[in-house]
Amino acid sequence: MKDKKMRFPGIQKSPEQKMHKSSIRKRLFLFGFFAGLLILCSVFSGWLCPYDPYEQNLEQALAAPSVHHILGTDRYGRDMLSRVIIGSRTSILGTLFLVAVITVFGTFVGMICGFYGKWIDGLLMRISDIFLAFPGLVFALAVAGVLGGGLQNAIIALVAISWPKYARISRSQTLAQKEMTYMKAVKLSGSSTWKMLFRHILPNILGPVLVTSMLDIGTMMMELAGLSFLGLGAKPPMAEWGSMMSDSRSLLQTVPWVVFAPGFAIFLSVMIFNLLGDAVRDYLDPKMR
C-alpha cells in the first residue's frame, strides 16, 4: 500500500485567500504609489510652482479660477495653486517628521520599559499615564500656547501627547518577546543588552509599530493643520494648509476657492495615507501569511 500524504487543511491557502492577498498587494502598491507621489511633490514643490507662492499682486486679488490661475488667487493676489503646492512641504513633510519622531521615541521608551521593568518601567509608564489623562488635542493646544505657537512648537506639542501610545505598544510586544525561547538562548550566548534590543527584539515588534505609525499619519496631519488653523502652528506668510484655511475663512461665502483649495489638499492627502495605512495593516496581518 502506498503511503498517503497527510493533508492539513490549514496549511494550503484556498483560491479565495490567494485572491484576497493579491488584492491587498495591489492596494498596497497603488496607495503606496500615490503616497510616494505626494511626498515627491512636497520635496520638489519649489520647482513645481507655476508662480512665486509669496509674490503679491493686489491687482489680481481674489481672482476667480481661470486658465492663468487654475485655483484662483487669495486676498493678496498670490496664486493659490502655487501656495497649495509649496504648502505641501510644510504640511506633508512636517507630518512625516512628526510621526517619525513619536514612533522612534515612543518605541524606544517602550522597549526600555519592557526589557528592564522594575522602577524604570513604573516611572516611565506613570509619566505616560499623566499625558494620557488629558484630552489629546486640548493638551496639545495648551502646550503649543505655552510655548508661543509656531510650527516647531506645534510639533513639540503633538510629540508630547502622541508618544505614550507607541510606548505602550512596544512595551507589551517587548514583554512578550522577552519570554520567548530564542531570547533565553540569546541571553545565554552572552549578547549585550543593546544587541538584544535592536537586533533581536526590535525586528520582531516592528510590525505593529509600523502599522500604528502608518495609520497615524492622517491623524497627525489633521491635528497639525488644526493647530495652525487656530493660530498655534505655522505663522503667515508661511504656506501651510491649516493656516491658509484660517487666514481665508471669512471669505468662504464670497470667494470659496481660497478655502476649498487647501481644504481639498488636506482631504486628499489624509485619505491617501489612511488608505495606505489600511493596506499595510492588511498586508502585515498574520492571518494573510
Give the model confidence (pLDDT) of 17-30 as tens digits. Answer: 667 778 888 999 99
CATH C-level class of 38-53+65-288:
mainly alpha
Q: State the Cα–Cα distance between residues 113 and 67, nearest whole angstrom.
A: 58
Model pLDDT for residues 166-183, shown as the tens digit of each residue:
999 999 999 988 888 888
Spatial contact of 26 and 77, defined as CB atoms under 8 Å apart: no
Residue bearing cell 521615541: 105
Q: Domain coordinates of the chain in residue numbers? A: 38-53+65-288
Residue 136 has a pLDDT of 81
What is the average pLDDT value for the chain, to the nearest integer?
88
Spatial contact of 174 and 114, defined as CB atoms under 8 Å apart: yes
Give average pLDDT by consecutive 10-residue segment, the chain, 289 residues.
46 65 89 96 94 91 91 92 94 95 95 90 91 84 88 91 93 89 81 84 90 93 92 86 91 90 95 94 73
Residue 90 has a pLDDT of 92
Model pLDDT for residues 129-141, shown as the tens digit of each residue:
888 888 888 888 8
* E-state strands within the chain: none
